[in-house]
Homo-oligomer: A and B are copies of this chain.
Amino acid sequence: MSPETAKSLETKHKLLEGALRTLTEQGIAKTSARTVAAAAGVNQALVFYHFGSVDELLAAACRYGAEKAVARFRPRLAEVGSLSELLTVGREIHEQERSGGHVALLGQLLAGAQTHEALGPATAAGLDLWIAEIERVLVRVLAATPLGEFTDPAGLARAVAASFVGIELYEGVDAAGAQAALGALEQLGALVAALEELGPVAQRAVRHRLRRTGRR
């Protein structure tokens, strides 16, 4: 779309950062070539020169931003060894995201992607970075437990990621409600964690129940 000179890369970088800032601060509805260029401090026409269209810039920004955000938490996630620890890290991520807003950004892009065809694959890819990370942790954490047999880490990771996006969006309109929601999820996690630590007799009873009802 454009050459790879140092100057060109710098402008592209400015535009990517500008797109991220605009999306998080103004939302998808107010994000345009003009607003992004203003945030980036470059001329509006450069959006089209370097990325072809606004949608393609946003798609690139999504990949770029998600990679940056996931990278920041990757080491933290790598050392998670239990389900309840994962929940604690989830809360930590939430706290940091409240200022950074990279997850809410995915929410904005998900909203935009419902109609802007070009955004769909990019947004899915951005989410997949989070999903892959979460799934890796879940596989590690769950495989060792007696629950491994009944859980689908791939699906669970997707549920966690999507739910997280929903809660981050929700936080924007009801901060107290979002806090309550996170607290309740932690309780739920504690419940499953408690199950992990049951004695063999109780576990067999649970497994028996699950085999009967948990078909799918």
**A residues at B contact (CB < 8 Å):** 25-31, 84, 104, 107-108, 110-116, 119-121, 123-124, 127, 131, 147, 150-152, 154-156, 158-159, 161-167, 169-170, 172-174, 177-178, 180-188, 190-195, 197-199, 201-202, 205-206, 209-210, 213-214, 216
Instruction: Give the docked Cα–Cα distance between A213 and B192 (Å).
Output: 11
Would you call B184 and A30 a contact (CB within 8 A)?
Answer: no
In the bound complex, CA of A180 to CA of B185 (Å): 19
A178 with B158, Cβ < 8 A, contacts A120-B172, A172-B120 known: yes
Complex contacts, A174 vs chain B, CB 8 Å: 124, 127, 158
Compute how far the CA of A92 lies from the CA of B110 in the bound complex, rounded to whole angstroms: 23
State the CA gap A84–B119 with chains docked (Å).
35
Copy tally for this chain in the complex stands at 2
24 CB contacts below 8 A, A to B, read A27-B111, A28-B28, A29-B116, A108-B114, A110-B111, A110-B172, A110-B173, A114-B172, A124-B173, A127-B174, A150-B191, A151-B188, A152-B184, A152-B187, A154-B184, A158-B170, A158-B177, A159-B167, A159-B180, A159-B188, A162-B181, A191-B192, A191-B206, A197-B209
Complex: chain B residue closest to A210, CB-CB: B194
Write the nearest CB–CB distance from A48 to chain B, whole angstroms. Answer: 18
